Structure 1
Amino acid sequence: MEETTLAVTVVVPSLLAKVTGDQRELRVPVEDGATVAQVLDRLAAEYPVFDRRVRNELGAVRRYVNLYVDGEDIRGLDGPATRIGPGQELLIIQSVAGG
């Protein structure tokens, strides 16, 4: 991802960092009015395996993946249509099942 001041910081969990070149933070260029889905689309173009781990084949966020814009769960906002702008943070948390 290119470095720019008009960017969203995407925080990647350690489980997914191996498919982003071991990067835990990605800067994704955005314009005002961008959505979480558009940020994910930009990431998908550069990291297709990452995208398959975050979204299903229909483009929906997988149920075990939680996305937060500045600490707010997008499920309580507008989902992937949630607006996100320059300077904001998109935190991705991938649930881990076990027992």
Structure 2
Amino acid sequence: MSIKVKLPTQLRAAAGGASSVEVDGATVGEVLAAVYEVHPELKDRLADEDGSLRRFVNVYVGGDDIRFGDGLDTKVADGAEVQVLPAVAGGC
């Protein structure tokens, strides 16, 4: 099943400049593992040492935040769009 993973500008350098990556997977965890195989630098940016998503990384499937579903076990339908959004903080 082909899944489109959309990457924001701040992650594109770690993905060779790509704004999206097409991979296969049945769950968010499988999809991200496939993304890490293609672009290993993204794993350091998105996951901690045990493979869990870093606390500041938000992932959406079809616009729904996976934190309010099954997390990395969230099912992903063929043709779905997954969006990865690291939180951005700042101030004066």
Separation in 1, partners of 2:35, 2:22 = 10
Separation in 2, partners of 1:79, 1:12 = 18
Partner of 1:71: 63
1:12-91 to 2 correspondences below 5 Å: 12-30=7-25, 34-91=26-83
Partner of 2:3: 8
Give the secondary-structure state (helix, strand or coil) at the position aligned to 1:19: helix
Separation in 2, partners of 1:66, 1:90 = 10
Tell me which amino acid in the other structure corresponds to 2:46.
V
Residue segments in structure 2 that go unaligned for 5+ positions in a row: none
TM-score by length of 2: 0.94
What is the aligned-residue RMSD (CA, Å)?
0.9
Q: Which has the higher helix share?
A: 2
Identity of aligned residues (%): 36
Question: Which 4+ residue blocks in structure 1 deviate beyond 6 angstroms?
Answer: none
Measured after TM superposition, the shift of residue 58 of structure 1 is: 0.5
TM-score by length of 1: 0.87
Q: How many pairs does the alignment contain?
A: 91
Measured after TM superposition, the shift of residue 49 of structure 1 is: 1.0
